[in-house]
Amino acid sequence: MQAPLEFRPKLLQALQGYSRQQFWGDVGAGLTVGVVALPLAMAFAIASGLKPEAGLFTAIIAGFLISALGGSRVQIGGPAGAFIVIVYGIVERYGLANLIIATAMSGVMLFAFGLFKLGTLVRFIPIAVVIGFTNGIAVLIAVSQVKEFLGLQVPHMPGNFFGIVQTVFQSLHTLNGYATLLALACLGLIVGWQWGVPRLALTRPWARKWTLVPGSIVALVLATLLVTFFGIPVETIGTRFGGVPSSLPTLDWPEFSWETARFLLLPAFTLALLGAIESLLCARIADSIIDDRHNPNQELMAQGIANFVTPFFGGMPATGTIARTVTNAKSGATSPVAGMVHAATLLLVVLVAAPLAHNIPLAAMAAILMFVAWNMGEWREFVHLRQYRLPYRATLLAVFFLTVVFDLTVAVEVGLVAACMTFIYRISSLSRCEQVSTQDYPPLAGLEARVAAHRLHGAIFFGAVKLIETLEDRLPQRVLVLDFKNVLYIDSSGADTVADLVRTCHKRGVRFIACGLAFQPQDILLRCGVIEALGPENLSATLAQALELAVHDAQG
Protein backbone atom coordinates (compact mmCIF):
# COMPACT_ATOMS: atom_id res chain seq x y z
CA MET A 1 0.00 0.00 0.00
CA GLN A 2 1.40 3.39 -1.00
CA ALA A 3 2.11 5.87 1.80
CA PRO A 4 -0.34 8.81 1.90
CA LEU A 5 0.78 12.27 0.84
CA GLU A 6 2.22 14.08 3.84
CA PHE A 7 1.65 17.79 3.36
CA ARG A 8 1.83 19.49 6.72
CA PRO A 9 3.30 23.02 6.75
CA LYS A 10 5.33 24.03 9.79
CA LEU A 11 2.90 26.92 10.25
CA LEU A 12 0.22 24.55 11.57
CA GLN A 13 2.54 23.28 14.28
CA ALA A 14 3.85 26.77 15.11
CA LEU A 15 0.36 28.20 15.64
CA GLN A 16 -0.44 25.66 18.37
CA GLY A 17 -0.25 27.63 21.61
CA TYR A 18 0.80 30.75 19.69
CA SER A 19 0.92 33.77 22.04
CA ARG A 20 0.56 37.52 21.59
CA GLN A 21 4.18 37.95 22.65
CA GLN A 22 5.30 35.59 19.89
CA PHE A 23 3.17 37.47 17.38
CA TRP A 24 4.73 40.84 18.12
CA GLY A 25 8.20 39.25 18.06
CA ASP A 26 7.43 37.83 14.62
CA VAL A 27 6.10 41.20 13.42
CA GLY A 28 9.29 42.95 14.51
CA ALA A 29 11.48 40.30 12.86
CA GLY A 30 9.37 40.40 9.68
CA LEU A 31 9.67 44.18 9.40
CA THR A 32 13.44 43.97 9.92
CA VAL A 33 14.01 41.28 7.34
CA GLY A 34 11.70 43.10 4.94
CA VAL A 35 14.04 46.09 5.07
CA VAL A 36 17.01 43.78 4.49
CA ALA A 37 15.31 42.08 1.53
CA LEU A 38 14.30 45.29 -0.26
CA PRO A 39 17.63 46.23 -1.88
CA LEU A 40 18.70 42.62 -2.38
CA ALA A 41 15.52 41.66 -4.23
CA MET A 42 15.92 44.50 -6.72
CA ALA A 43 19.67 43.97 -7.09
CA PHE A 44 19.32 40.24 -7.82
CA ALA A 45 16.68 40.92 -10.47
CA ILE A 46 18.72 43.62 -12.21
CA ALA A 47 21.84 41.43 -12.20
CA SER A 48 19.78 38.60 -13.72
CA GLY A 49 18.80 40.74 -16.69
CA LEU A 50 15.28 41.43 -15.39
CA LYS A 51 13.45 44.51 -14.19
CA PRO A 52 13.78 45.37 -10.48
CA GLU A 53 10.11 44.63 -9.80
CA ALA A 54 10.72 40.98 -10.75
CA GLY A 55 12.81 40.61 -7.61
CA LEU A 56 10.26 42.45 -5.46
CA PHE A 57 7.33 40.38 -6.77
CA THR A 58 9.34 37.21 -6.12
CA ALA A 59 10.16 38.24 -2.56
CA ILE A 60 6.49 39.05 -1.96
CA ILE A 61 4.76 36.07 -3.55
CA ALA A 62 7.37 33.34 -3.14
CA GLY A 63 8.40 34.69 0.26
CA PHE A 64 4.81 34.43 1.52
CA LEU A 65 4.19 30.95 0.05
CA ILE A 66 7.48 29.48 1.28
CA SER A 67 6.83 30.74 4.82
CA ALA A 68 3.17 29.72 4.85
CA LEU A 69 3.66 26.25 3.35
CA GLY A 70 7.29 25.40 4.17
CA GLY A 71 8.86 22.98 6.60
CA SER A 72 10.99 25.48 8.54
CA ARG A 73 9.93 27.90 11.25
CA VAL A 74 12.08 30.88 10.28
CA GLN A 75 13.29 30.33 6.70
CA ILE A 76 12.87 33.34 4.40
CA GLY A 77 12.35 32.64 0.71
CA GLY A 78 12.97 34.93 -2.22
CA PRO A 79 15.39 35.66 -5.08
CA ALA A 80 18.93 34.52 -4.39
CA GLY A 81 22.35 35.40 -5.71
CA ALA A 82 23.01 31.79 -6.70
CA PHE A 83 20.35 32.08 -9.43
CA ILE A 84 21.80 35.19 -11.09
CA VAL A 85 24.12 33.38 -13.50
CA ILE A 86 21.56 30.74 -14.47
CA VAL A 87 18.67 33.18 -14.92
CA TYR A 88 20.80 35.57 -16.97
CA GLY A 89 21.85 32.69 -19.21
CA ILE A 90 18.26 31.49 -19.72
CA VAL A 91 17.02 34.99 -20.55
CA GLU A 92 19.90 35.59 -22.95
CA ARG A 93 19.53 32.24 -24.73
CA TYR A 94 15.80 31.50 -24.60
CA GLY A 95 14.06 34.78 -23.75
CA LEU A 96 11.90 36.00 -20.88
CA ALA A 97 8.84 33.90 -21.80
CA ASN A 98 10.89 30.72 -21.61
CA LEU A 99 12.31 31.77 -18.23
CA ILE A 100 8.73 31.67 -16.96
CA ILE A 101 8.29 28.16 -18.34
CA ALA A 102 11.67 26.96 -17.03
CA THR A 103 10.96 28.33 -13.54
CA ALA A 104 7.52 26.71 -13.47
CA MET A 105 9.04 23.41 -14.61
CA SER A 106 11.62 23.64 -11.83
CA GLY A 107 8.75 24.17 -9.41
CA VAL A 108 7.12 20.93 -10.56
CA MET A 109 10.45 19.13 -10.12
CA LEU A 110 10.95 20.56 -6.63
CA PHE A 111 7.46 19.49 -5.59
CA ALA A 112 8.18 16.00 -6.95
CA PHE A 113 11.44 15.89 -4.95
CA GLY A 114 9.48 16.54 -1.77
CA LEU A 115 6.54 14.31 -2.75
CA PHE A 116 8.82 11.31 -3.25
CA LYS A 117 10.75 12.14 -0.06
CA LEU A 118 14.04 12.99 -1.73
CA GLY A 119 14.77 15.88 0.63
CA THR A 120 17.37 13.95 2.60
CA LEU A 121 19.19 12.87 -0.58
CA VAL A 122 20.23 16.46 -1.30
CA ARG A 123 22.51 16.21 1.73
CA PHE A 124 24.48 13.49 -0.04
CA ILE A 125 25.94 16.02 -2.50
CA PRO A 126 29.61 16.31 -1.46
CA ILE A 127 30.66 19.50 0.26
CA ALA A 128 33.49 19.92 -2.27
CA VAL A 129 30.91 20.23 -5.06
CA VAL A 130 28.80 22.70 -3.06
CA ILE A 131 31.78 24.91 -2.15
CA GLY A 132 33.15 24.75 -5.69
CA PHE A 133 30.03 25.98 -7.44
CA THR A 134 29.19 28.47 -4.65
CA ASN A 135 32.59 30.13 -5.02
CA GLY A 136 32.30 30.00 -8.79
CA ILE A 137 28.91 31.71 -8.73
CA ALA A 138 30.29 34.36 -6.37
CA VAL A 139 33.08 35.14 -8.86
CA LEU A 140 30.61 35.36 -11.74
CA ILE A 141 28.34 37.69 -9.75
CA ALA A 142 31.25 40.00 -8.93
CA VAL A 143 32.50 40.00 -12.53
CA SER A 144 29.02 40.68 -13.90
CA GLN A 145 28.74 43.79 -11.69
CA VAL A 146 31.93 45.45 -12.95
CA LYS A 147 29.93 47.15 -15.70
CA GLU A 148 27.58 48.92 -13.26
CA PHE A 149 30.35 49.45 -10.70
CA LEU A 150 32.38 51.42 -13.25
CA GLY A 151 29.39 52.97 -14.98
CA LEU A 152 30.39 51.54 -18.36
CA GLN A 153 28.21 52.13 -21.41
CA VAL A 154 27.59 48.60 -22.70
CA PRO A 155 24.45 47.96 -24.80
CA HIS A 156 24.49 44.21 -24.18
CA MET A 157 26.59 42.24 -21.70
CA PRO A 158 27.41 38.60 -22.60
CA GLY A 159 26.54 35.85 -20.17
CA ASN A 160 29.87 33.97 -20.18
CA PHE A 161 33.00 34.79 -18.20
CA PHE A 162 35.38 35.49 -21.07
CA GLY A 163 32.74 37.48 -22.94
CA ILE A 164 32.15 39.66 -19.89
CA VAL A 165 35.87 40.26 -19.34
CA GLN A 166 36.45 41.08 -23.02
CA THR A 167 33.47 43.46 -23.14
CA VAL A 168 34.56 45.25 -19.97
CA PHE A 169 38.09 45.85 -21.29
CA GLN A 170 36.77 47.05 -24.64
CA SER A 171 34.43 49.50 -22.85
CA LEU A 172 36.84 50.97 -20.32
CA HIS A 173 36.99 54.20 -22.31
CA THR A 174 33.33 54.82 -21.33
CA LEU A 175 34.11 54.68 -17.59
CA ASN A 176 31.96 57.02 -15.47
CA GLY A 177 34.09 58.40 -12.64
CA TYR A 178 31.02 59.52 -10.67
CA ALA A 179 29.57 56.01 -10.74
CA THR A 180 32.89 54.46 -9.73
CA LEU A 181 33.37 56.82 -6.79
CA LEU A 182 29.77 56.33 -5.69
CA ALA A 183 30.10 52.53 -5.88
CA LEU A 184 33.38 52.58 -3.93
CA ALA A 185 31.84 54.82 -1.27
CA CYS A 186 28.80 52.51 -0.94
CA LEU A 187 30.97 49.40 -0.74
CA GLY A 188 33.20 51.01 1.87
CA LEU A 189 30.17 52.08 3.88
CA ILE A 190 28.64 48.57 3.79
CA VAL A 191 31.88 46.89 4.83
CA GLY A 192 32.54 49.46 7.54
CA TRP A 193 28.97 49.21 8.83
CA GLN A 194 29.12 45.42 9.12
CA TRP A 195 32.51 45.51 10.80
CA GLY A 196 32.20 48.61 12.95
CA VAL A 197 28.63 48.75 14.27
CA PRO A 198 28.67 45.39 16.12
CA ARG A 199 31.99 46.30 17.76
CA LEU A 200 30.70 49.74 18.70
CA ALA A 201 27.62 48.13 20.23
CA LEU A 202 29.82 46.18 22.66
CA THR A 203 30.88 49.39 24.42
CA ARG A 204 28.08 51.81 23.44
CA PRO A 205 24.59 50.61 24.43
CA TRP A 206 22.92 53.23 22.20
CA ALA A 207 24.52 51.60 19.14
CA ARG A 208 22.91 48.18 19.74
CA LYS A 209 19.70 49.10 17.94
CA TRP A 210 21.69 49.99 14.83
CA THR A 211 22.98 46.42 14.52
CA LEU A 212 19.52 45.46 13.21
CA VAL A 213 19.80 47.95 10.35
CA PRO A 214 21.69 46.47 7.38
CA GLY A 215 24.52 48.48 5.90
CA SER A 216 23.11 47.87 2.41
CA ILE A 217 19.92 49.83 3.13
CA VAL A 218 21.95 52.69 4.68
CA ALA A 219 24.20 52.86 1.61
CA LEU A 220 21.21 52.68 -0.72
CA VAL A 221 19.35 55.50 1.02
CA LEU A 222 22.38 57.80 1.19
CA ALA A 223 23.33 57.12 -2.45
CA THR A 224 19.76 57.83 -3.58
CA LEU A 225 19.70 61.09 -1.62
CA LEU A 226 23.00 62.18 -3.16
CA VAL A 227 21.72 61.50 -6.68
CA THR A 228 18.38 63.19 -5.97
CA PHE A 229 19.67 66.42 -4.41
CA PHE A 230 22.98 66.87 -6.20
CA GLY A 231 22.02 65.53 -9.62
CA ILE A 232 25.02 63.21 -9.90
CA PRO A 233 25.17 62.00 -13.52
CA VAL A 234 24.86 58.24 -13.01
CA GLU A 235 22.41 55.67 -14.34
CA THR A 236 19.47 54.92 -12.03
CA ILE A 237 16.53 52.53 -11.89
CA GLY A 238 14.41 55.30 -13.38
CA THR A 239 16.67 56.02 -16.34
CA ARG A 240 17.21 52.31 -17.10
CA PHE A 241 13.82 50.75 -16.31
CA GLY A 242 11.49 53.69 -15.91
CA GLY A 243 11.13 53.10 -12.18
CA VAL A 244 9.22 50.47 -10.19
CA PRO A 245 5.45 50.14 -10.74
CA SER A 246 3.33 50.88 -7.66
CA SER A 247 0.74 48.21 -8.45
CA LEU A 248 0.11 44.54 -7.86
CA PRO A 249 1.56 42.06 -10.36
CA THR A 250 -0.79 40.66 -12.99
CA LEU A 251 -1.07 37.14 -14.35
CA ASP A 252 1.13 36.61 -17.42
CA TRP A 253 0.58 33.30 -19.22
CA PRO A 254 3.30 32.69 -21.86
CA GLU A 255 2.92 30.66 -25.01
CA PHE A 256 3.77 27.06 -24.25
CA SER A 257 4.94 24.28 -26.56
CA TRP A 258 6.41 20.86 -25.86
CA GLU A 259 9.11 21.56 -28.43
CA THR A 260 10.29 24.53 -26.34
CA ALA A 261 9.92 22.65 -23.05
CA ARG A 262 12.22 19.91 -24.32
CA PHE A 263 15.12 22.36 -24.57
CA LEU A 264 14.33 23.82 -21.14
CA LEU A 265 14.50 20.52 -19.24
CA LEU A 266 18.19 20.87 -18.39
CA PRO A 267 18.03 24.56 -17.30
CA ALA A 268 14.89 23.76 -15.28
CA PHE A 269 16.60 20.83 -13.59
CA THR A 270 19.58 23.05 -12.77
CA LEU A 271 17.24 25.60 -11.18
CA ALA A 272 15.48 22.84 -9.21
CA LEU A 273 18.69 21.20 -8.01
CA LEU A 274 20.31 24.48 -6.99
CA GLY A 275 17.09 25.64 -5.32
CA ALA A 276 16.86 22.40 -3.36
CA ILE A 277 20.48 22.60 -2.21
CA GLU A 278 20.26 26.27 -1.22
CA SER A 279 16.94 25.97 0.61
CA LEU A 280 17.86 22.86 2.62
CA LEU A 281 21.31 24.19 3.52
CA CYS A 282 19.63 27.39 4.65
CA ALA A 283 17.05 25.45 6.67
CA ARG A 284 19.80 23.51 8.43
CA ILE A 285 21.55 26.76 9.37
CA ALA A 286 18.24 28.10 10.71
CA ASP A 287 17.78 24.94 12.79
CA SER A 288 21.15 25.47 14.46
CA ILE A 289 20.19 29.02 15.43
CA ILE A 290 16.72 28.37 16.89
CA ASP A 291 17.33 24.75 18.03
CA ASP A 292 14.64 23.24 15.83
CA ARG A 293 14.38 20.57 13.12
CA HIS A 294 12.91 21.35 9.72
CA ASN A 295 10.99 18.97 7.45
CA PRO A 296 13.08 18.79 4.24
CA ASN A 297 10.35 17.18 2.12
CA GLN A 298 7.73 19.73 3.17
CA GLU A 299 10.22 22.50 2.46
CA LEU A 300 10.84 21.21 -1.06
CA MET A 301 7.12 20.95 -1.77
CA ALA A 302 6.63 24.55 -0.62
CA GLN A 303 9.57 25.67 -2.76
CA GLY A 304 7.98 23.85 -5.69
CA ILE A 305 4.62 25.56 -5.25
CA ALA A 306 6.29 28.97 -4.92
CA ASN A 307 8.40 28.49 -8.04
CA PHE A 308 5.40 27.28 -10.02
CA VAL A 309 3.18 30.21 -9.07
CA THR A 310 5.61 33.14 -8.91
CA PRO A 311 6.85 33.32 -12.53
CA PHE A 312 3.31 33.75 -13.86
CA PHE A 313 3.08 36.97 -11.84
CA GLY A 314 6.29 38.54 -13.09
CA GLY A 315 8.65 36.82 -10.67
CA MET A 316 11.89 34.86 -10.97
CA PRO A 317 13.21 31.65 -9.36
CA ALA A 318 13.15 31.61 -5.56
CA THR A 319 14.76 29.60 -2.79
CA GLY A 320 15.71 29.88 0.86
CA THR A 321 18.09 32.78 1.46
CA ILE A 322 20.75 32.46 4.13
CA ALA A 323 21.37 36.15 4.92
CA ARG A 324 17.68 36.99 5.28
CA THR A 325 16.94 33.79 7.21
CA VAL A 326 19.75 34.42 9.70
CA THR A 327 18.56 38.02 10.11
CA ASN A 328 15.02 36.75 10.71
CA ALA A 329 16.12 34.20 13.32
CA LYS A 330 18.39 36.61 15.17
CA SER A 331 15.69 39.30 15.17
CA GLY A 332 13.45 37.17 17.37
CA ALA A 333 11.31 35.24 14.88
CA THR A 334 9.65 32.13 16.30
CA SER A 335 7.29 31.03 13.52
CA PRO A 336 6.59 31.34 9.78
CA VAL A 337 4.43 34.35 10.57
CA ALA A 338 7.61 36.47 10.48
CA GLY A 339 8.26 35.44 6.88
CA MET A 340 4.67 36.28 5.94
CA VAL A 341 5.07 39.71 7.59
CA HIS A 342 8.30 40.21 5.60
CA ALA A 343 6.33 39.61 2.38
CA ALA A 344 3.57 41.98 3.50
CA THR A 345 6.18 44.66 4.31
CA LEU A 346 7.59 44.49 0.80
CA LEU A 347 4.09 44.60 -0.68
CA LEU A 348 3.39 47.78 1.30
CA VAL A 349 6.63 49.30 0.03
CA VAL A 350 5.65 48.54 -3.57
CA LEU A 351 2.17 50.01 -3.17
CA VAL A 352 3.21 53.13 -1.25
CA ALA A 353 6.86 53.96 -1.82
CA ALA A 354 7.62 52.63 -5.33
CA PRO A 355 8.17 56.14 -6.82
CA LEU A 356 11.06 56.66 -4.40
CA ALA A 357 13.01 53.93 -6.23
CA HIS A 358 13.29 56.11 -9.35
CA ASN A 359 16.59 57.69 -8.29
CA ILE A 360 18.28 54.59 -6.87
CA PRO A 361 21.69 54.47 -8.61
CA LEU A 362 22.68 51.22 -10.27
CA ALA A 363 26.24 51.75 -9.04
CA ALA A 364 24.97 51.42 -5.46
CA MET A 365 23.19 48.19 -6.44
CA ALA A 366 26.45 46.90 -7.91
CA ALA A 367 28.27 47.67 -4.66
CA ILE A 368 25.66 45.71 -2.71
CA LEU A 369 26.05 42.71 -5.01
CA MET A 370 29.84 42.89 -4.77
CA PHE A 371 29.48 42.63 -1.01
CA VAL A 372 26.98 39.76 -1.37
CA ALA A 373 29.39 37.91 -3.67
CA TRP A 374 32.22 38.28 -1.17
CA ASN A 375 30.11 36.96 1.71
CA MET A 376 28.69 34.20 -0.47
CA GLY A 377 32.05 32.57 -1.21
CA GLU A 378 33.88 30.15 1.09
CA TRP A 379 37.26 31.69 0.27
CA ARG A 380 39.07 30.20 3.24
CA GLU A 381 38.58 26.76 1.73
CA PHE A 382 41.14 27.65 -0.96
CA VAL A 383 43.70 28.46 1.75
CA HIS A 384 42.98 25.18 3.56
CA LEU A 385 43.06 23.00 0.45
CA ARG A 386 46.49 21.60 1.28
CA GLN A 387 44.97 19.97 4.38
CA TYR A 388 42.75 17.74 2.22
CA ARG A 389 43.52 14.83 -0.04
CA LEU A 390 44.02 15.15 -3.78
CA PRO A 391 40.50 13.91 -4.80
CA TYR A 392 38.82 16.57 -2.61
CA ARG A 393 41.06 19.32 -3.96
CA ALA A 394 40.63 18.19 -7.55
CA THR A 395 36.83 18.04 -7.23
CA LEU A 396 36.51 21.47 -5.60
CA LEU A 397 38.85 23.20 -8.05
CA ALA A 398 37.33 21.47 -11.09
CA VAL A 399 33.79 22.51 -10.11
CA PHE A 400 34.97 26.05 -9.36
CA PHE A 401 36.76 26.57 -12.69
CA LEU A 402 34.03 24.86 -14.73
CA THR A 403 31.41 27.07 -13.08
CA VAL A 404 33.37 30.21 -13.89
CA VAL A 405 34.57 29.31 -17.36
CA PHE A 406 31.81 27.10 -18.76
CA ASP A 407 28.48 26.51 -17.09
CA LEU A 408 27.06 25.66 -13.68
CA THR A 409 25.24 22.62 -15.06
CA VAL A 410 28.43 21.18 -16.54
CA ALA A 411 30.30 21.96 -13.32
CA VAL A 412 27.79 20.16 -11.08
CA GLU A 413 27.63 17.16 -13.43
CA VAL A 414 31.42 16.82 -13.57
CA GLY A 415 31.68 17.41 -9.82
CA LEU A 416 29.13 14.73 -8.99
CA VAL A 417 30.79 12.24 -11.34
CA ALA A 418 34.22 13.01 -9.86
CA ALA A 419 32.86 12.71 -6.33
CA CYS A 420 31.17 9.39 -7.16
CA MET A 421 34.35 8.00 -8.70
CA THR A 422 36.34 9.11 -5.66
CA PHE A 423 33.80 7.53 -3.32
CA ILE A 424 33.84 4.26 -5.28
CA TYR A 425 37.63 4.16 -5.20
CA ARG A 426 37.81 4.86 -1.47
CA ILE A 427 35.15 2.31 -0.54
CA SER A 428 36.73 -0.31 -2.79
CA SER A 429 40.11 0.35 -1.15
CA LEU A 430 38.55 -0.33 2.26
CA SER A 431 37.32 -3.73 1.09
CA ARG A 432 39.96 -6.42 1.55
CA CYS A 433 40.51 -10.15 1.66
CA GLU A 434 42.71 -11.74 4.38
CA GLN A 435 43.87 -15.34 4.31
CA VAL A 436 43.47 -17.41 7.46
CA SER A 437 46.92 -18.70 8.41
CA THR A 438 48.02 -21.72 10.44
CA GLN A 439 48.78 -19.33 13.32
CA ASP A 440 45.11 -18.34 13.38
CA TYR A 441 43.95 -21.96 13.12
CA PRO A 442 46.71 -24.57 13.84
CA PRO A 443 44.80 -27.61 12.44
CA LEU A 444 45.41 -26.12 8.96
CA ALA A 445 49.12 -26.97 9.27
CA GLY A 446 50.11 -29.32 6.46
CA LEU A 447 46.82 -28.78 4.61
CA GLU A 448 47.69 -25.49 2.90
CA ALA A 449 47.49 -26.98 -0.57
CA ARG A 450 44.14 -28.68 0.04
CA VAL A 451 42.33 -26.04 2.16
CA ALA A 452 42.21 -22.24 1.78
CA ALA A 453 40.26 -19.92 4.07
CA HIS A 454 39.77 -16.18 3.64
CA ARG A 455 38.13 -13.40 5.65
CA LEU A 456 36.32 -10.74 3.59
CA HIS A 457 35.99 -7.17 4.91
CA GLY A 458 33.97 -4.15 3.74
CA ALA A 459 31.53 -4.10 0.84
CA ILE A 460 31.53 -6.54 -2.07
CA PHE A 461 30.19 -4.32 -4.84
CA PHE A 462 31.01 -3.61 -8.47
CA GLY A 463 34.09 -1.63 -7.48
CA ALA A 464 35.52 -4.42 -5.31
CA VAL A 465 34.60 -7.64 -7.16
CA LYS A 466 38.29 -8.04 -8.03
CA LEU A 467 38.74 -9.50 -4.53
CA ILE A 468 36.49 -12.43 -5.42
CA GLU A 469 37.77 -12.80 -8.99
CA THR A 470 41.39 -13.22 -7.85
CA LEU A 471 40.39 -16.20 -5.70
CA GLU A 472 39.55 -18.19 -8.86
CA ASP A 473 43.22 -18.05 -9.88
CA ARG A 474 44.43 -19.67 -6.65
CA LEU A 475 41.82 -22.23 -5.67
CA PRO A 476 42.89 -25.05 -3.29
CA GLN A 477 42.64 -28.73 -4.15
CA ARG A 478 39.75 -29.68 -1.87
CA VAL A 479 37.99 -26.90 0.14
CA LEU A 480 37.56 -23.11 -0.08
CA VAL A 481 36.17 -21.27 2.97
CA LEU A 482 34.97 -17.67 2.80
CA ASP A 483 34.08 -15.80 5.98
CA PHE A 484 31.46 -13.06 5.32
CA LYS A 485 31.19 -11.98 8.96
CA ASN A 486 32.76 -8.54 8.29
CA VAL A 487 30.98 -7.93 4.97
CA LEU A 488 28.52 -5.05 5.36
CA TYR A 489 26.96 -5.09 1.93
CA ILE A 490 26.88 -7.08 -1.30
CA ASP A 491 25.37 -5.63 -4.47
CA SER A 492 24.11 -7.54 -7.51
CA SER A 493 27.53 -7.41 -9.20
CA GLY A 494 29.16 -8.81 -6.08
CA ALA A 495 26.52 -11.54 -5.82
CA ASP A 496 27.05 -12.51 -9.48
CA THR A 497 30.80 -12.72 -8.89
CA VAL A 498 30.27 -14.99 -5.85
CA ALA A 499 27.93 -17.14 -7.99
CA ASP A 500 30.64 -17.41 -10.65
CA LEU A 501 33.13 -18.50 -7.98
CA VAL A 502 30.70 -21.16 -6.75
CA ARG A 503 30.28 -22.52 -10.30
CA THR A 504 34.05 -22.55 -10.84
CA CYS A 505 34.54 -24.47 -7.59
CA HIS A 506 31.92 -27.05 -8.66
CA LYS A 507 33.64 -27.53 -12.03
CA ARG A 508 37.03 -28.10 -10.38
CA GLY A 509 35.68 -30.34 -7.65
CA VAL A 510 36.41 -27.87 -4.85
CA ARG A 511 34.00 -27.65 -1.94
CA PHE A 512 32.84 -24.05 -1.22
CA ILE A 513 31.88 -23.30 2.39
CA ALA A 514 30.41 -19.88 3.31
CA CYS A 515 30.09 -18.68 6.89
CA GLY A 516 29.12 -15.61 8.93
CA LEU A 517 26.50 -14.30 6.50
CA ALA A 518 24.66 -11.27 7.90
CA PHE A 519 21.11 -10.36 6.87
CA GLN A 520 21.77 -8.24 3.76
CA PRO A 521 24.51 -10.43 2.20
CA GLN A 522 22.49 -13.57 2.92
CA ASP A 523 19.33 -12.02 1.46
CA ILE A 524 20.88 -11.05 -1.89
CA LEU A 525 22.81 -14.34 -2.19
CA LEU A 526 19.54 -16.15 -1.55
CA ARG A 527 17.73 -14.14 -4.24
CA CYS A 528 20.57 -14.74 -6.71
CA GLY A 529 20.45 -18.51 -6.16
CA VAL A 530 23.89 -18.74 -4.52
CA ILE A 531 22.55 -20.18 -1.25
CA GLU A 532 20.59 -22.84 -3.13
CA ALA A 533 23.64 -23.73 -5.21
CA LEU A 534 25.77 -24.14 -2.09
CA GLY A 535 23.31 -26.27 -0.16
CA PRO A 536 22.71 -26.18 3.63
CA GLU A 537 25.68 -28.48 4.26
CA ASN A 538 28.05 -25.76 3.01
CA LEU A 539 26.72 -22.95 5.23
CA SER A 540 28.13 -22.34 8.70
CA ALA A 541 27.39 -19.78 11.36
CA THR A 542 31.02 -19.16 12.36
CA LEU A 543 34.46 -19.44 10.83
CA ALA A 544 35.52 -22.02 13.44
CA GLN A 545 32.70 -24.35 12.41
CA ALA A 546 33.49 -23.88 8.72
CA LEU A 547 37.21 -24.62 9.25
CA GLU A 548 36.35 -27.73 11.23
CA LEU A 549 34.24 -28.99 8.32
CA ALA A 550 37.00 -28.07 5.85
CA VAL A 551 39.75 -29.88 7.78
CA HIS A 552 37.56 -32.95 8.23
CA ASP A 553 36.79 -33.02 4.51
CA ALA A 554 40.44 -32.51 3.50
CA GLN A 555 41.66 -35.31 5.77
CA GLY A 556 38.87 -37.70 4.76
Report if residue 70 sits inside a domain: yes
407 and 489 belong to one structural domain: no
Nearest to 451 by CA among 497, 473, 482: 482
pLDDT of residue 1: 38
Report if residue 18 sits inside a domain: no
298 and 444 belong to one structural domain: no
481 and 493 belong to one structural domain: yes
310 and 418 belong to one structural domain: no
187 and 208 belong to one structural domain: yes
pLDDT of residue 335: 95
pLDDT of residue 473: 86
What CA–CA distances, in Å, run from 15 to 25, 73, 334, 375? 14, 11, 10, 34
- State how many domains the chain has: 3
Report if residue 87 sits inside a domain: yes
Residue 160 φ then ψ, to 5°: -100, 160
DSSP 125: S
425 and 437 belong to one structural domain: no
413 and 478 belong to one structural domain: no
CATH number at residue 476: 3.30.750.24
Task: Say if residues 478 and 450 touch (Cβ distance below 8 Å).
Answer: yes
Report if residue 12 sits inside a domain: no
Task: Say if residues 64 and 310 touch (Cβ distance below 8 Å).
Answer: no
Report if residue 164 sits inside a domain: no
Domain residues for 415? 403-429
336 and 425 belong to one structural domain: no
338 and 414 belong to one structural domain: no
CA distance 319 to 86: 14
End-to-end CA distance of the chain: 54
Q: Which residues of the chain have pLDDT under 70?
A: 1-5, 556
Report if residue 22 sits inside a domain: no
71 and 198 belong to one structural domain: yes
Report if residue 508 sits inside a domain: yes
Report if residue 310 sits inside a domain: yes
pLDDT of residue 245: 86
